[in-house]
């Protein structure tokens, strides 16, 4: 089966941390949602940015559906939910924000409308459609940011610290959403219980390597 995402012998570092990732191998197929946990600064966000084609590997390869992931090239198959939802909310209203992705994919006006409705319904945010994104609570912003990604219908979704800044109630809402939404992908988090609840497998990122943890 062609992997949705395949990482082989990935190496990456920055100037002061030249050996941050030292031979990462990972394979995501349909039905997989893989959790990644690790200390602050271990390279979790960096790994997501490499998968999202924001950064370029120094060695090794990343493929998505059999195609090379090329840094700087838009990948419609991959949706990324950033750690700070405000960083990805750009529309004047919530509905406009969620429409932005499908509009840019060239969907017809009718399809954009349908996708926006569906994505807001899936994330429980239909009632927020006409609100201003920057006036939402952190938990509401997170769900709207996810709706914006869902509306693009990616094949896999990368979540960076999705529970950051959320209270217990919002965490539970997000957990329930992820338990019912089967889109495969990666979830980076410090919250092991959350990862256990929403992932099919969990890895520890330590000293530049990924080691499987039991669920
Ligand atoms: N653009 C950058 N330039 C230089 N160094 C960077 C850059 N981005 C991150 N780093 C460094 O790389 C290391 C890994 O950062 P990264 O954000 O990937 O870690 P993380 O595991 O996601 O951390 P956290 O759990 O704190 O979010 C850190 O030491 C960080 O300071």
Q: What average pLDDT does the structure give for the chain?
A: 94
Q: What ligand 1 atom has the least distance to the C-alpha of 161?
A: 27
Determine the distance separating the centroid of ligand 1 and the alpha carbon of 78, expressed in angstroms: 21
pLDDT band, very low/low/confident/very high, at 182 (cuts 50, 70, 90): confident
Give the residue-averaged pLDDT of 115-124: 94
Q: What ligand 1 atom has the least distance to the C-alpha of 205?
A: 21
On the question of pLDDT at 167 being above 90, the answer is no
Is the full-model pTM beyond 0.90? yes
Closest C-alpha to 30, from 4, 53, 59: 4
Asked if the interface predicted TM-score (ipTM) of this complex is over 0.90, the answer is yes
CA distance 187 to 208: 17
Q: Is 82 in the pocket of ligand 1 (CB under 6 A)?
A: no
Q: Is 43 in the pocket of ligand 1 (CB under 6 A)?
A: yes
Note the pLDDT of residue 90. Answer: 87
Q: What ligand 1 atom has the least distance to the C-alpha of 48?
A: 18
- The tens digit of pLDDT for each residue in 27-50 reads 999 989 999 999 999 999 999 999
- The three-point CA angle 107-111-112 to 5° equals 70
Note the pLDDT of residue 37. Answer: 97
What's the CATH number for 1-72+186-215?
3.40.50.300
- The tens digit of pLDDT for each residue in 93-111 reads 999 999 999 999 999 999 9
CA distance 198 to 13: 29
Q: Is 201 in the pocket of ligand 1 (CB under 6 A)?
A: no
On the question of pLDDT at 215 being above 70, the answer is no
CA distance readout (Å), 119 to 50, 87, 102, 143, 183: 26, 19, 11, 10, 13
Note the pLDDT of residue 155. Answer: 95
Determine the distance separating the centroid of ligand 1 and the alpha carbon of 148, expressed in angstroms: 26
Percent of the chain with pLDDT over 70: 99
- Look at 105 and 167; give whichever has higher pLDDT: 105
On the question of pLDDT at 153 being above 80, the answer is yes
Going from N- to C-terminal start, the domains of the chain cover 1-72+186-215
On the question of pLDDT at 127 being above 70, the answer is yes
On the question of pLDDT at 164 being above 70, the answer is yes
Give the residue-averaged pLDDT of 172-191: 94
HEC profile for 36-48? Answer: EECCCCCCHHHHH
Note the pLDDT of residue 87. Answer: 87
> What is the sign, positive or negative, of the torsion defined by CA atoms of 101, 124, 174, 136?
positive
Collapsed DSSP state (helix, strand, coil) of residue 165: coil
Q: Is 19 in the pocket of ligand 1 (CB under 6 A)?
A: no
On the question of pLDDT at 62 being above 80, the answer is yes
CA distance 106 to 4: 23
């Amino acid at each position: 089966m062609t992997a949705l995402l395949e990482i082989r012998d990935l190496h990456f570092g920055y100037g002061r941390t030249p050996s941050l990732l030292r031979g990462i191998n990972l394979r995501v197929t349909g039905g997989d949602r893989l959790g990644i946990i690790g200390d602050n600064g271990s390279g979790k966000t960096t790994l997501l940015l490499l998968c999202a084609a924001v950064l370029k590997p120094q060695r090794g390869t990343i493929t998505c559906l059999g195609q090379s992931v090329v840094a700087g090239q838009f990948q419609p198959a991959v949706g990324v939910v950033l750690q700070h939802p405000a960083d990805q909310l750009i529309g004047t209203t919530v509905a406009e924000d969620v429409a932005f992705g499908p509009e840019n994919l060239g969907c017809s006006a009718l399809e954009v409308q349908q996708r926006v409705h569906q994505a807001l319904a899936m994330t429980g945010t239909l009632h927020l459609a006409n609100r201003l994104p920057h006036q939402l609570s952190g938990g509401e912003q997170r769900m709207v940011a996810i709706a914006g990604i869902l509306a693009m219908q990616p094949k896999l979704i990368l979540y960076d610290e999705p529970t950051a800044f959320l209270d217990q109630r919002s965490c539970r809402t997000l957990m329930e959403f992820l338990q019912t939404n089967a889109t495969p992908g990666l979830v980076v988090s410090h919250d092991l219980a959350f990862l256990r609840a929403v992932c099919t497998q969990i890895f520890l990122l330590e000293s530049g390597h990924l080691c499987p943890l039991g669920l």
